[in-house]
Amino acid sequence: MGSMTHAAGRAAFSTALDVTLKNLNKKPEGEIVKLIDLMQKYMDGEKIDIDYDKAKQMVLDQDGTLNKYIHRLLDEVDPYVLKMTALTLGYEAFFHGTKTIRKMREVQKCNIPWLILMDPTSACNLHCTGCWAAEYGNRLNLTFKEMDDIITQGKELGIYFYMFTGGEPLVRRDDILRLCEKHHDCAFLAYTNGTLVNEPLCQEMVKLGNLYLAISLEGFSEVNDLRRGTGVFEKVMHAMDLLKEYGLIFGTSICYTSQNIETVTSDEFIDLIVEKGCRYSLYFHYMPVGNDAAVELLPTKEQREYIYEKLKENDIFSRRYFYPLTSDEVCFKNKYIKQDLQKARYYSDRILVLPLYADLKNEEVERIVDVIRKNL
């Protein structure tokens, strides 16, 4: 299979997935191990960040977290959504994407990211305290064509994973659904406040199978609604119930501060989101932006260590080095130890992040790319 074309590899993987999903009642672990073997063959010796033997062991270990996670996915997630996830995130983005990106890095002589994050709109239906979205309002929007162009060009470079943030991306629900339909070989994740999730959206998401959500939460209702607005917590709980009922894949996006860090890592909170059907949880370090930003909300070094250890207790592994560590801004000074800064710089030097704002001109993107090329 090593010399197989992209299309033939996808067809083989798709057929193997059908067999896996049909035989789930018998022995899912064995079928999943066969899929891992298939992908190892497809990668044809090309090195990736996976230890195939260890992955197989983890799948087969009936007391292990991965095994339990897989069983829960198989029991609770819609089979078509599962198949599309394995095809888009697994086959296209991870395996085929990795191969293509590596080739294209040589051709283009610059780094190529494995995912692109864009803001379809600055508009939002909420008015959370301290958020810039209210100031920008509905002024900034990427057109469908612009987003479609970005994805079409991205795929040529091997990028099959796209994230939407905002504003509230689901304000542009119809365009997002069109993009997911047109680019059904890609995976899409929207960071959302969750308040626009309803039955018609869930029905569309089940049909497409390649759109996932990360719903913002800051704690239980009292803390969450203080900044986000009365009743938002309940709306998020309702959205999660609907998404779970439809067998969709979603998770949370949690901004942790010096104030809410203990709540959002507590057993009670994690049990709640697991029970609600969340499959992943993305924790983001609070970033003070602008002159009036509340610097006191920045987590301390001890709190960062605490969150790392606390998540690990729940088998959740996070990266130790967060974005703020790469910054020399005054508000970060004396907050972190010097060694951490060096390590963080090492990693950040290897990650390319290009801003894709609605009012960013093409010439500006060209200029940024040019600067990167010259400095490589």
Note whether 239 and 195 are within 8 A (CB). Answer: yes
∠ CA 192-194-197, nearest 5°, is: 115
Number of neighbouring beta carbons within 10 Å of residue 42: 22
Is 142 exposed, middle or buried, given 0-12, 13-18 or 19+ CB atoms closer than 10 A?
buried
Cα separation of the two ends of the chain? 35
For residue 46, give both structure tokens: 């090309």
For residue 158, give both structure tokens: 């091997």
Long-range CB contacts (< 8 A, 24+ apart) of 266-271?
269/219, 269/220, 270/314
Task: In angstroms, give the least distance from the CB of 239 to ligand SF4.
Answer: 13
Q: Which is nearer to ligand SF4, 125 or 203 (CB)?
A: 125
Q: Which is nearer to ligand SF4, 123 or 261 (CB)?
A: 123
Note whether 66 and 59 are within 8 A (CB). Answer: yes
Would you give the DSSP letter of residue 353?
A: -
Q: Which amino acid makes up residue 245?
A: E
Q: Which is nearer to ligand SF4, 194 or 299 (CB)?
A: 194
Q: How far apart are CA 120 and CA 102, in angstroms?
A: 28
Q: Which is nearer to ligand SF4, 166 or 277 (CB)?
A: 166
Task: In angstroms, give the least distance from the CB of 168 to ligand SF4.
Answer: 5
Is 106 exposed, middle or buried, given 0-12, 13-18 or 19+ CB atoms closer than 10 A?
exposed
Task: In angstroms, give the least distance from the CB of 127 to ligand SF4.
Answer: 6
Task: In angstroms, give the least distance from the CB of 325 to ligand SF4.
Answer: 23
Q: Which is nearer to ligand SF4, 167 or 209 (CB)?
A: 167
Task: In angstroms, give the least distance from the CB of 225 to ligand SF4.
Answer: 12
Q: Which is nearer to ligand SF4, 167 or 219 (CB)?
A: 167
Measured torsion, CA atoms of residues 30, 34, 35, 38, in degrees rounded to the nearest 10 = 170
Specify the residue for token string 């801003």: 355
Q: Which is nearer to ligand SF4, 120 or 167 (CB)?
A: 167
Task: In angstroms, give the least distance from the CB of 173 to ligand SF4.
Answer: 15
Find the length of the chain. 376
Residues contributing to the site for ligand SF4 (CB under 6 A)? 124, 126-128, 131, 133, 166-168, 193, 228
Is 212 exposed, middle or buried, given 0-12, 13-18 or 19+ CB atoms closer than 10 A?
buried
Q: Which is nearer to ligand SF4, 98 or 193 (CB)?
A: 193
Task: In angstroms, give the least distance from the CB of 179 to ligand SF4.
Answer: 20
Task: In angstroms, give the least distance from the CB of 241 to ligand SF4.
Answer: 20
